[in-house]
């Protein structure tokens, strides 16, 4: 094994998120020691307090941008990173907290916090790619750890990661799951959702929730027309498209078409909330 | 196949056929009911087969109903096909390990337990013949397909009850089977009882049948078989007009219908993966953290953007061009490539398309407006 100090460096960064995606890295139990032998983990506070200054060869970025401070911090992370990879629905699409984009977030803060004046947050939750250049986006809520290892391995060896952009349906067919949409009339987002989970939900009789966001080609309006025809009310469809990837463009547009509220910031740039002003 | 030597067995006889195949070492696979559909599974006796089940199929619709009668084969094909048994969704081709500058390669054995496919339908036999031309008998045979296919023992079950999605009669692939099987069954369930006419298609088929007690099929039994097949053909109402179809599609590459289909098409790829003849696969090399290299093949679909990815981007960027690729390959260019139709009329792509796009309807629409051109299409240049 080469001298530890000569190994490529890996950093893991957290923005607005639940930590589930970074934990996927710790979940790679069998491969973790091997990984630690081929990279120097320089910054990963879920794992160790010890951090080393950049630059970093590979940065994994979890979470979305929701505070004025993070708008600046992501710039620093970008500058310190040779290759920046965003992981998870928060970082790639704004995450479940992107639901704030459809309502005045100041009202939420006033309901939830005793002293909302201490909360410094933006009106919106936005993906990392809205702020800095991103070298690769790994989707999922949470991401799949095998895909994560593949992206890291590919980055280290300088090849293109083998991460398909096609529908969940193809994974259903490959594992021999009987289609729920056709045989049970279950509302399923699989035909417009990116694969990556291994088609987990249909395999246990649940329609796809769209955790991995829109597939490369996502004809959401045609799917929505069929699901409505099969009896799913528009409002439920709007909710179905509006979960972890609510602000991914294809899902956002469809949820609006099905009657969901439009983003409050549509037509105006993001502005700081009252919390920010009150600081 | 001659019917003169046909025999007659009952359900116990079919049990015995399956048992003999098991004793001979075959991995006995056949239709089973799983998760509300007829799917390939392990079959060790008639009890594992879809006894008493009936299906209802339509574009984007499939429903299985249990009526509890004693029929064994009174249903049409489900979403799974024998393609998955012979050409599995993923297949490792080789792996290599690095030792300093040396690479050591190893390949998985193509040493498979022989398969017995019990209760394959006539259109599925036709599909195997189509796949053979691509994966076994062409210039670059696939060793894994060949190994599995050459050892396979096939018991075909002729069709008595087609689904509304079936159109084998248009494609000349059913409801009866003439070649390509070891044993052929026709289920009779009439006043005289529940039996199967069995025809022998190979020497090993004859050997297996010899191990089972059977009677010679009477002229009345053979007439019964003829009536079952005639009724099935009459009940097959969906049609695909194949007359000049390849040329028709080839001269209508700029037809407006492709864009219309693309309005509905999800590009989900279900049609290609349920199709028993679609053979597209993707070969990818990956490396592991320890430097091992693996080459793996997995099913792919021409509805994937990646499928036509060349340097710089996909050739078929629009869903319209991808739907056109699928339909023209199945019904037109397959003839140029392999000398057959790529479609055997099983109807799977119709039933299992989530939005119910029906290729027979699409082809008919183009036929009825032959020569129509979408607005903005440049003459002589196929747009993507
Ligand atoms: S169950 Fe859902 S994901 Fe699976 S094939 Fe059907 S529509 Fe696609
Ligand atoms: S194209 Fe459709 S009907 Fe034809 S063989 Fe394939 S799945 Fe069956
Ligand atoms: S129709 Fe598409 S998926 Fe099927 S064999 Fe042709 S190119 Fe491949
Ligand atoms: S034709 Fe149907 S099954 Fe095929 S890709 Fe389009 S929507 Fe999916």
Question: Could you report the per-residue pLDDT of B122-149, keeping only the tens digit for each?
Answer: 999 999 999 999 999 988 899 999 999 9
The C-alpha angle A48, A51, A52, rounded to 5 degrees, equals: 150
Q: Does residue A109 carry a pLDDT above 90? A: no
Confidence of residue A111 (pLDDT cuts 50, 70, 90): confident
Tell me which residue in B301, B306, B352 faces A182 most closely, judged by beta carbons: B352
Residue A142: asked if its preceding bond is cis (omega within 30°), the reply is: yes
pLDDT value at position A275? 38
User: Do the Cβ atoms of B306 and A31 come within 8 Å?
Assistant: no
Mean pLDDT of B231-246: 97
Count of beta carbons in the 10 Å neighbourhood of residue B380:
6
What number of C-beta contacts closer than 8 Å exist between A and B? Answer: 129
- The full set of domain ranges for chain B reads 3-87+110-235
B234 neighbors B170 (Cβ within 8 angstroms)? no
Closest approach of B153 to chain A, Cα-based (Å)? 23
Give the least confident one: A153-157, B57-61, B174-178: A153-157
CA distances (Å), B337 to each of A67, B35, B133, B269, in order? Answer: 59, 37, 10, 22
Give the least confident one: A193-197, A217-221, A269-273, B355-359: A269-273
> Average model confidence (pLDDT) for chain B?
95
Q: Percentage of residues in chain B with pLDDT exceeding 90?
A: 90
For atom 5 of ligand 2, the residue with the nearest CA is B343
Give the closest ligand to the alpha carbon of residue B266.
4
Residues of B in contact with A183 (CB under 8 A): 35-37, 62-64
Q: Distance between CA A58 and CA A218 in Å, rounded?
A: 30
pLDDT value at position B251? 97
Mean pLDDT of A206-235: 97
Q: Distance between CA B176 and CA A241 in Å, rounded?
A: 47
pLDDT tens, position by position, A158-182: 888 999 999 999 999 999 999 999 9
Radius of gyration of chain B (CA): 23
Residue B46 CA, ligand 4 centroid: distance in Å: 35
pLDDT value at position B191? 86
Count of beta carbons in the 10 Å neighbourhood of residue A226:
21
Q: Which residues of A touch B (CB under 8 A)?
A: 31, 34-35, 37-38, 149-150, 152-154, 156-157, 159, 162, 164-167, 169-170, 173-179, 181-184, 188, 190-192, 205, 215-217, 219, 222-223, 225-226
Count of beta carbons in the 10 Å neighbourhood of residue A218:
26
ipTM of the complex: 0.95
User: Do the Cβ atoms of A178 and B265 come within 8 Å?
Assistant: no
Confidence of residue B311 (pLDDT cuts 50, 70, 90): confident
Residues of B in contact with A182 (CB under 8 A): 60-62, 79, 351-352, 354
The candidate with the shortest Cα–Cα distance to A67, out of A3, A24, A131, is A131
User: Do the Cβ atoms of B289 and A149 come within 8 Å?
Assistant: yes
pLDDT tens, position by position, A31-44: 999 999 999 999 99
Mean pLDDT of B185-194: 93
User: Do the Cβ atoms of A153 and B286 come within 8 Å?
Assistant: yes
Q: Does residue B56 carry a pLDDT above 70? A: yes
Q: Residue B268: closest CA among chain A residues belongs to which residue?
A: A191
pLDDT value at position B366? 98
> Which stretches within A82-166 are classed as H helix?
88-93, 105-112, 145-157
- Hey, which of B89, B272, B352, B354 would you mutate to test ligand 1's pocket, going by the most ligand atoms within 8 Å of its Cβ? B354
Q: Does residue B173 carry a pLDDT above 60? A: yes
Q: Which residues pair with B32 in a beta bridge?
A: B39
pLDDT value at position B377? 80
Q: Distance between CA A124 and CA A66 in Å, rounded?
A: 6
- When scoring B89, B264, B266 by the number of chain A Cβ atoms within 10 A, the one with the most, hence best to mutate, is B266
Give the least confident one: A51-60, A83-92, A105-114, B287-296: A105-114
Q: Distance between CA A31 and CA B374 in Å, rounded?
A: 54
pLDDT value at position B379? 62
Domains of chain A: 4-157 (3.40.50.700), 168-257 (no CATH)
- When scoring B165, B267, B308, B320 by the number of chain A Cβ atoms within 10 A, the one with the most, hence best to mutate, is B267
Does the beta carbon of B301 lie under 8 angstroms from any beta carbon of chain A?
yes
Sign of the C-alpha dihedral computed for residues B119, B121, B126 and B131 taken in this order: negative
Task: Report whether residue B79 contacts ligand 4, using a CB cutoff of 6 Å.
Answer: no
Residues of B in contact with A175 (CB under 8 A): 89
Q: Which residues pair with A214 in a beta bridge?
A: A193
Q: Does residue A17 carry a pLDDT above 70? A: yes
Tell me which residue in B264, B273, B306 faces A173 most closely, judged by beta carbons: B273
pLDDT value at position B274? 98
Largest CA distance in chain B: 76
Q: What's the pTM?
A: 0.94
**CA count, 13 A, side-chain hemisphere, B27:** 13
pLDDT value at position B290? 86
B366 neighbors B252 (Cβ within 8 angstroms)? yes
Tell me which residue in B36, B301, B354 faces A184 most closely, judged by beta carbons: B36
Q: Distance between CA A54 and CA B135 in Å, rounded?
A: 52
**Could you report how far apart the first and last alpha carbons of chain A are, in Å?**
51
With 0-12 / 13-18 / 19 or more C-beta atoms within 10 angstroms meaning exposed / middle / buried, residue B197 is buried
Q: Does residue B350 carry a pLDDT above 50? A: yes
pLDDT value at position A50? 85
Q: Distance between CA B142 and CA B268 in Å, rounded?
A: 27
B148 neighbors B115 (Cβ within 8 angstroms)? yes
Q: Does residue A279 carry a pLDDT above 80? A: no
**Contacting B residues, span 15-44, partner chain A, CB-CB under 8 Å:** 34-37, 39-40
With 0-12 / 13-18 / 19 or more C-beta atoms within 10 angstroms meaning exposed / middle / buried, residue B192 is exposed
CB within 8 Å of A80: residues ≥ 6 apart: A11, A54, A55, A56, A59
Residues of B in contact with A231 (CB under 8 A): none
Q: Distance between CA A178 and CA A175 in Å, rounded?
A: 9
> Which stretches within B87-213 are classed as H helix?
122-135, 143-151, 168-171, 203-210
DSSP conformational letter for B106: E
pLDDT value at position A245? 97
Give the least confident one: A106-110, A188-192, B33-37, B356-360: A106-110
Residues of B in contact with A35 (CB under 8 A): 289
> Average model confidence (pLDDT) for chain A?
91
Count of beta carbons in the 10 Å neighbourhood of residue B325:
20
The candidate with the shortest Cα–Cα distance to A35, out of B285, B288, B98, is B288
**Contacting B residues, span 48-77, partner chain A, CB-CB under 8 Å:** 60-64
Confidence of residue A46 (pLDDT cuts 50, 70, 90): confident
b or e along B104-141 (b: 16 or more beta carbons within 10 Å of the residue's beta carbon)? Answer: eeeeeeeebeebbbbbbbbbbbbbbbbbbbbbbeeeee
Q: Does residue B298 carry a pLDDT above 60? A: yes
CB within 8 Å of B267: residues ≥ 6 apart: A167, A215, A217, A219, B303, B319, B322, B323
Tell me which residue in B35, B80, B266 faces A191 most closely, judged by beta carbons: B266
Q: Distance between CA A167 and CA B158 in Å, rounded?
A: 35
- When scoring B289, B304, B317 by the number of chain A Cβ atoms within 10 A, the one with the most, hence best to mutate, is B289
């Amino acid at each position: 094994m080469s001298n530890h100090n000569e190994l490529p460096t890996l950093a893991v960064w957290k923005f607005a998120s639940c930590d589930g995606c970074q934990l996927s890295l710790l979940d790679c139990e069998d491969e973790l020691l091997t990984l630690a032998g081929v990279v120097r983990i320089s910054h990963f506070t879920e794992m160790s307090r010890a951090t080393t200054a950049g630059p970093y060869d590979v940065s994994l970025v979890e979470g979305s941008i929701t505070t004025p401070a993070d708008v600046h911090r992501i710039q620093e992370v970008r500058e310190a990173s040779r290759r920046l990879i965003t992981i998870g629905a928060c970082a790639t699409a704004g995450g479940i907290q992107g639901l704030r984009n459809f309502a005045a977030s100041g009202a939420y803060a006033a309901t939830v916090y005793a002293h909302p004046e201490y909360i410094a947050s933006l009106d919106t939750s936005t993906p990392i790619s809205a702020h800095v250049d991103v070298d690769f986006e790994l989707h999922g809520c949470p991401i799949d750890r095998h895909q994560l290892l593949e992206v890291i391995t590919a980055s280290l060896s300088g090849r293109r990661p083998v991460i398909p952009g096609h529908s969940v349906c193809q994974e259903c067919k490959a594992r021999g799951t009987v289609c729920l949409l056709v045989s049970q009339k279950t509302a399923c987002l699989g035909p417009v959702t990116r694969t990556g989970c291994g088609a987990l939900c249909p395999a246990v009789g649940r329609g796809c929730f769209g955790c991995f966001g829109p597939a490369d080609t996502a004809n959401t309006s045609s799917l929505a027309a069929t699901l409505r025809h099969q009896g799913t009310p528009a409002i439920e469809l709007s909710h179905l498209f509006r979960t972890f990837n609510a602000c991914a463009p294809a899902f956002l547009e469809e949820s609006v078409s099905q009657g969901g509220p439009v983003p409050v910031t549509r037509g105006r740039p993001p502005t700081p909330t009252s919390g920010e002003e009150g600081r | 196949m001659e019917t003169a030597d046909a025999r007659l067995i009952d359900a116990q006889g079919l049990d015995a056929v399956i048992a003999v195949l098991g004793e001979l070492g075959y991995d006995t696979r056949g239709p089973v009911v799983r998760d509300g559909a007829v799917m390939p599974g392990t079959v060790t006796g008639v009890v594992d087969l879809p006894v008493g089940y009936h299906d209802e199929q339509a574009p984007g619709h499939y429903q299985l109903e249990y009526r509890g009668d004693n029929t064994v084969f009174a249903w049409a094909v489900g979403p799974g096909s024998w393609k998955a048994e012979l050409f599995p969704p993923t297949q490792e081709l080789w792996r290599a390990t690095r030792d300093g500058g040396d690479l050591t390669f190893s390949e998985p054995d193509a040493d498979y337990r022989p398969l017995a496919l019990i209760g394959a339908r006539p259109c599925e036999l036709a599909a195997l013949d189509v796949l053979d031309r691509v994966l076994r008998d062409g210039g670059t045979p696939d060793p894994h397909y060949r190994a599995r296919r050459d050892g396979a023992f096939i018991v075909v079950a002729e069709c008595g009850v087609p689904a509304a999605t079936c159109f084998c009669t248009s494609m000349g692939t059913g409801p009866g089977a003439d070649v390509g099987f070891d044993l052929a069954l026709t289920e009779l369930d009439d006043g005289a009882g529940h039996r199967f006419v069995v025809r022998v298609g190979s020497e090993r088929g004859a050997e297996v049948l010899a191990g089972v007690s059977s009677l010679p099929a009477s002229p009345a039994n053979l007439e019964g078989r003829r009536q079952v097949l005639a009724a099935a053909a009459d009940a097959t109402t969906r049609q695909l007009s194949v007359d000049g179809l390849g040329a028709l599609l080839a001269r209508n590459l700029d037809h407006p219908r492709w864009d219309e289909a693309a309005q509905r098409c999800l590009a989900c790829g279900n049609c290609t993966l349920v199709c028993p003849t679609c053979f597209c696969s993707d070969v990818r090399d990956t490396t592991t953290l320890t430097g091992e290299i693996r080459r793996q093949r997995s099913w792919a679909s021409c509805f994937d953007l990646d499928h036509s990815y060349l340097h710089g981007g996909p050739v078929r960027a629009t869903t319209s061009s991808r739907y056109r690729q699928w339909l023209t390959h199945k019904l037109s260019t397959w003839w140029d490539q392999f000398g057959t139709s790529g479609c055997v009329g099983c109807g799977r792509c119709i039933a299992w398309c989530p939005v119910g796009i029906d290729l027979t309807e699409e082809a008919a629409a183009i036929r009825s407006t032959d020569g129509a051109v979408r607005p903005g299409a440049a003459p002589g240049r196929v747009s993507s």
